[in-house]
Amino acid sequence: MKSLIYFIPMRQIEDIQQEIIEEFQDYDDWMDRYQLLIDLGQEQAPLDERYKTESNLIDGCQSRVWLQADLTPEGTIHFQAESDALIVKGIVALLIRVLDNQTPADILAADLHFIEDIGLREHLSPTRSNGLLAMLKQMKLYAVAFKAKGNA
């Protein structure tokens, strides 16, 4: 007799982006949106000290940002991160919210339009904008590495 395997579907990246866009639309003023980012960062679980290593520091960020990625037995990537800057911690919390527990293929195929749709990039300083791009790049590099490892 065959056993049944019940599959719990992952939340789609697009659905999560839409939630974020709707949350940010509740605030007209960018000072309120910055506060939302700070709140999101403060709600994020702190990164275990063992992951705050030089190899987990993201190059290209003015602030210190550590990013840890692990491939789960289900074939998804679990991201954890922390920053020493409140707004940056909120930004990385948003990225994790969208990309955490997604497959490497889905991460690589994702069009992360929420960043533009909420106006985040245009309201960041050039150094923070570069840091955002560096965080995204590192998350996608993890996806490339895990995808290659899975296909090897």
- State both tokens at 108: 């690589």
Give me the helices (H) in the chain, please: 13-25, 30-43, 86-99, 104-109, 114-117, 126-151
Cα gap 34→123, rounded to integer Å = 9
Q: Evaluate whether 91 touches 82 at the Cβ level (below 8 Å).
A: no
Using only C-alpha atoms, the chain has a radius of gyration, in whole angstroms, of 16
Q: Is 61 a catalytic residue?
A: yes
Q: ∠ CA(96), CA(138), CA(121), 5° rounding? A: 65
Find how far residue 71's CA is from the centre of its chain. 15
Which of 20, 40, 47, 61 is labelled catalytic?
A: 61
Q: Active-site residue numbers?
A: 61
